Structure 1
Amino acid sequence: MGIGCRIYTAAARPPRDVVELFRGLPVANIDDCMNRTAALRYDIRPIGRAPLLGTAFTVKVAEGDNLFFHKAMDMAQPGDVFMIDGGGDPHRSVFGEIMVRYCARRGCAGIVLDGSIRDSDSIAQMDFPVYAKGVTPNGPYKNGPGEIGGVVTVGGIVVHPGDIVVGDADGVIVIRPEEAVELAAKVRAFNENEVVTMERIAREGTLPRPWVDQKLEAMGVEYMD
């Protein structure tokens, strides 16, 4: 039996127009509209500044091993974002510049790795979004085990194949496709309210927040001279 060694080939992907609803929307605002529960852990950081938007193509690799990522690169479709569960290993890189260039050439939308990379300076100069937990020059093994197309955990968040993935300088967020249309509308309304607030600050120098004093009063805060 190939326990721990599986490749699922029937990956569903949401319609592209649903994915595009999130283009240009700030990850922080999306997370606010998801009850601040959907962002990957803070230590999954961008390498470079290219924004990220696509659908999750999930990969699980053994720590410090990239055999199954090599296979996944040949299976991915344009618009896919590799969501790689590398166990958060800091000791060996899972990929470097050559593999990133191959993914970009194939039309993939980005790579998010709960693990380490190398060639970080070169990757940062590319117009291709990469997120990772760490950087190390130590190269990977190619022995397995691993999985492609299953449910993974990346940065503390459970990721399903076909989830919508959005990333910017703040980090990465994962969205279930069945929630996407309603969520995108909510985020756009949230953004519009932020614009009004920032215009008020610029125009009047005010930021009304009556809830602050209400909460302090409920706490019984005493004001002392």
Structure 2
Amino acid sequence: MSEATTMDKENFVTCDLLDAHPESQVCLPNIEGKSFYSFGGKDRFCGEIVTVKCFEDNSRVKELLNSDGTDKNGDGKVLVVDGGGSMRCALLGDMIAESAIVNGWAGVVIYGCVRDVDDMAQMELGVMALGCIPRKSNRRDEGQTDIEISFGDLTLNSGMFIYADNNGMIASDSALL
């Protein structure tokens, strides 16, 4: 990025942000043989983190991304989901992704899988996940929100900030932009 270019939420590069803020956490490019890939229509997104921990149950994911102005509304935030790295079912599909857009979420990061990827690729939403699978998750009304989660050398809490682009993801305790 040239010196004359000012970085903002629509125009940043994680490499440049990390150079300017070397104390930031960096997500490893390969976690136990798995890597994050971009599945959304936006290949660059950032925002304040809301954390969810769930395993093969997307009840909390749907609940939060469906929020309609409550204390958990999107407002440019990024939902970060610790799905335990499961590759057996998807925690996000096109219908829930559409709810995220309607409710103002900037993006979703899933340590797990997504589905309906052709449709999501056309949506104005950032989506990073380990992979895709056509199987949907079961809904058992399980999962925890606003707890510390860890994956890929990241330790994240709600209220932190995450920045994602084609170079990878970085996280910080405070806003970098």
Q: Helix, strand or coil: the match of 1:71?
A: helix
Displacement of 1:49 after TM fit? 5.2
Distance change in 2, residues 1:80/1:154 (3 Å): farther
Alignment of 1:96-111 (within 5 A): 96-111=93-108
Instruction: Determine which of 37, 44, 57 is the counterpart of 1:65.
Output: 57
The runs of at least 4 consecutive aligned structure 1 residues that moved more than 6 Å come to none
Gapped regions of structure 1 (runs ≥ 5): 1-20, 185-225
Q: Helix, strand or coil: the match of 2:85?
A: strand
**Contact (CA 8 Å) 1:59, 1:72: kept in 2 or not?**
no
Q: What is the percentage of aligned positions where both structures have the same residue?
A: 23
State the partner residue of 2:4: none
Alignment of 1:126-137 (within 5 A): 126-137=123-134
Displacement of 1:126 after TM fit? 1.4
Q: Which has the higher helix share?
A: 1
Equivalent residues, number = 160
Alignment of 1:130-209 (within 5 A): 130-177=127-174, 180=175
State the partner residue of 1:55: 48
Distance change in 2, residues 1:164/1:37 (3 Å): closer
State the partner residue of 1:31: 18
Rounded Cα–Cα distance in structure 2 between residues aligned with 1:127 and 1:49: 5
Displacement of 1:67 after TM fit? 1.3
Distance change in 2, residues 1:38/1:141 (3 Å): same
Tell me the C-alpha RMSD between the 2 structures.
2.2
Rounded Cα–Cα distance in structure 2 between residues aligned with 1:49 and 1:145: 29
Displacement of 1:106 after TM fit? 0.5
For normalisation by structure 2, the TM-score amounts to: 0.81
Does the alignment pair 1:82 with 2:62? no
Displacement of 1:33 after TM fit? 4.2
Per chain length, whose mean CA-contact separation is higher, i.e. which structure has more relative contact order (CA < 8 Å, sep 6+)? Answer: 2
Which structure has the bigger radius of gyration? 1
Rounded Cα–Cα distance in structure 1 between residues aligned with 2:127 and 2:135: 18
Q: Helix, strand or coil: the match of 1:94?
A: strand
Gapped regions of structure 2 (runs ≥ 5): 1-6, 30-34
Displacement of 1:116 after TM fit? 0.2
For normalisation by structure 1, the TM-score amounts to: 0.65
Rounded Cα–Cα distance in structure 1 between residues aligned with 2:152 and 2:121: 20
**Contact (CA 8 Å) 1:49, 1:168: kept in 2 or not?**
no
